[in-house]
Amino acid sequence: MPKEADYYRGAAESRAAAGEPAAGLDILKRGLEEPDLRKELLLPAGLFAERAGEITLAIRLLEERAALDPSLPEVHLHLGRLLIESGEDVARGRSEVRRAVDLKPALKTDSRVRRLLRSPASSSPAQSG
C-alpha cells in the first residue's frame, strides 16, 4: 500500500514542480478512488487542493482525514489554518489548531501556530473552490 500511495504523491509533486498543481490534484483524486489508498492520500490531496485554489475541497478532504484518524496533529493544524485563513469558520479553526497543539505540544513554540491562535483571520482570505 505505501508504495502505491508514494507513486501518486510523487506523480502529483512532479506536476506541481512543473507549475501545474491542479494536474497534481487530479492525480491524487484518482488515487483517492482506490479504497486501500484513500486514508493515506487524503492529507496530501487536501494540501494539493489548497495549492490549486480549491479551498472548499481542501477543507472537506482534511475533515474526512481527521474523522478517520483524529490523532494526527498535521491534519488538525492544516485544517485549522484553512478554516481561519479562508474565514470559513475562525472559531472552529482555532479549535482545530488547539487540538494539533494538544497532540503535539512542541507546536506551542511555533510562531505561525501562535499567530493562528491570536489573529481573527488572515489579512488576505484564501479563495474558495
CA-CA distance, 39 to 11, in Å (whole number)? Answer: 18
Do 44 and 77 lie in one domain? The reply is no
Domain total of the chain? 2
Start-to-end Cα distance in the chain: 30
Examine residue 57 and state whether it is found in any structural domain, yes or no.
Answer: no
| 8 A C-beta contact, residue 57 and residue 74 | no
pTM of the model: 0.88
pLDDT at 29 over 60: yes
Do 24 and 76 lie in one domain? The reply is no
pLDDT, tens only, 52-104: 999 999 999 999 999 999 999 999 999 999 999 999 999 999 999 999 999 99
Do 44 and 73 lie in one domain? The reply is no
Q: In which domain, by residue range, is 122 found?
A: 69-129
CA-CA distance, 125 to 98, in Å (whole number)? Answer: 21
Examine residue 61 and state whether it is found in any structural domain, yes or no.
Answer: no
Examine residue 93 and state whether it is found in any structural domain, yes or no.
Answer: yes
- For residue 95, give the C-alpha cell: 479549535
Give the range among 49-53, 106-110, 112-116, 124-128 with minimum mean pLDDT: 124-128
